[in-house]
Amino acid sequence: MKKMTRFTQLAIILMLVALLAACGSNNNGNNSAAEATTPSANASSANLSEQPADENAVRTLKDAMGHEVQVPAHPKKVLAPFLEDPLTALALKPVAQWGAAGVPQQYLQDQLKDVPVLNMEGGMKPEEALSYGPDLIIFLAPTYLADGSYEQFAKIAPTYVLSDNEADWRGNLEKLGTLLNEEDAVKTALEKFDKKVEDAKAQLGTLPSEKTAVLLQADGEKGFKLFGPNFYGGETLYKTLGFKQPAIVTGDYDTFSIEKLADLKDVDYIFVISGPGRGKPPVDNSLWKSLQAVQNNQVFDADSGHWFNANIIANGLIIDDILKDIHE
């Protein structure tokens, strides 16, 4: 009886040993499987380094009005009325574009034809801005904001006022590049534009230094306006390409009576703002007929879409127009 008991105890002990050995073997197998599916520390580091930058990252930047703005590092839905030209130069599309009476800037439509047009009558409305779900709203200058409206837009999305000098298109392009992390694209665009100016000057030769020119906005028999060297196309005409200003051009955008046409008598070239809704020159007026530029067929259309503008693409198109119309 005692022998049987000892035998039974021995059998139980042997069974326990076998069971423990089996468990140990299974645990080793599980550990191996875990090691096969869990990346090593080195592998984890390598994968992280290949991941794109945090799409939700923001930068705190101070705008032209002194606001501290939490700007997305990688904005995807930018709303920037009347900044479509520089955005397009940087190969960026806004979620909606500026328009006058529902008509956008025509010279940009090759790139923006599929972009909705804002109702800009009286300025951009907060409720319309909200409908496009922007993650960044940019205004060129404080003058583009109605009094008290900044906070309304800031509740919709981070809102940044770019500049206190809306006429400084080059500086504003650089500011836009910094804001959108597109500094390299800005550098490339400016280098291309500067090369275009250099080539244009070479093609024009001594003409700009010898010839006078005006950019005129006509209003039939009521009179006319002249663009100065700091006003839209006038800057390209006078400052960029160096055409001479006649004595009558002293301001930036002055209005004259029809009798003052006599002061344009000896002007070599007249560029007339043209396009839908623009006034026509007084072609039947004797003063107009007496102008040297008229008699020499040196009066040219200047499409208001880009001549009534001052941005990198528009300025390039103005240069193209001048080279097409004027030759040494």
Q: For residue 99, give the CATH number of its domain.
A: 3.40.50.1980
Q: Do 317 and 221 lie in a common domain?
A: yes
**Beta bridge mates, 70:** 60
Local mean pLDDT, 10-residue blocks, the chain (328 residues):
43 41 43 35 34 74 98 96 97 96 95 96 95 98 92 98 96 98 98 98 97 98 98 98 98 98 98 95 98 98 96 98 92
My answer on whether 214 and 179 are in the same domain is no
The encoded tokens of residue 184 equal: 């390299």
> Which SS3 state, helix, strand or coil, does residue 87 take?
helix
- In this structure, are 239 and 289 located in the same domain? yes
Is residue 67 domain-shared with residue 167, that is, in the same domain?
yes
Both 169 and 214 in one domain: the answer is no
β strands within 58-135, DSSP E: 58-62, 68-72, 78-79, 99-100, 103-104
Tell me the CA distances in angstroms from 150 to 50, 126, 138, 154, 198, one per residue in order. 39, 9, 11, 6, 41
Residue with tokens 């006003």: 231
d(CA 169, CA 260): 31
* Domain with 138 in it: 58-183
How confident is the model at residue 128, as a pLDDT? 97
- When divided into structural domains, the chain yields a total of 2
The upper half-sphere exposure of residue 229, i.e. CA atoms within 13 Å in the direction of its Cβ, equals: 14
| Structural domain contains residue 119 | yes
CB atoms within 10 A of CB 291: 20
CB burial readout 8-45, b (16+ within 10 A) else e: eeeeeeeeeeeeeeeeeeeeeeeeeeeeeeeeeeeeee
What is the helix (H) or strand (E) element at residue 303, kind and residue range?
strand 299-303
* Residue 85 is assigned to a structural domain of this protein: yes
Same domain, 213 and 179: no
Is 34 contained in some domain? no
Report yes or no on 193 lying in a domain: no
What single DSSP character describes residue 239?
A: I
Contact 29, 23 (CB under 8 A): no
Among 133, 151, 183, which residue terminates a domain? 183
Q: Give the model's pLDDT for residue 56.
A: 79
> Does some domain include residue 188?
no
Contact assessment for residue 71 and residue 160, using Cβ atoms and an 8 Å cutoff:
yes
- Residue 21 within any structural domain of the chain: no
Q: What is the pLDDT of residue 1?
A: 43
Please report whether residue 11 resides in a domain.
Answer: no
Query: Closest Cα to residue 138, out of 59, 85, 232, 63?
Result: 63
| pTM of the shown model | 0.82
Answer whether residue 228 is part of any domain.
Answer: yes
For residue 78, give the nearest of 141, 129, 127 by alpha carbon: 129
**How close are the terminal C-alpha atoms of the chain, in Å?**
130
Q: Assess whether 79 and 172 both reside in one domain.
A: yes
The pLDDT assigned to 53 comes to 55
Distance CA 67, CA 18 (A): 75
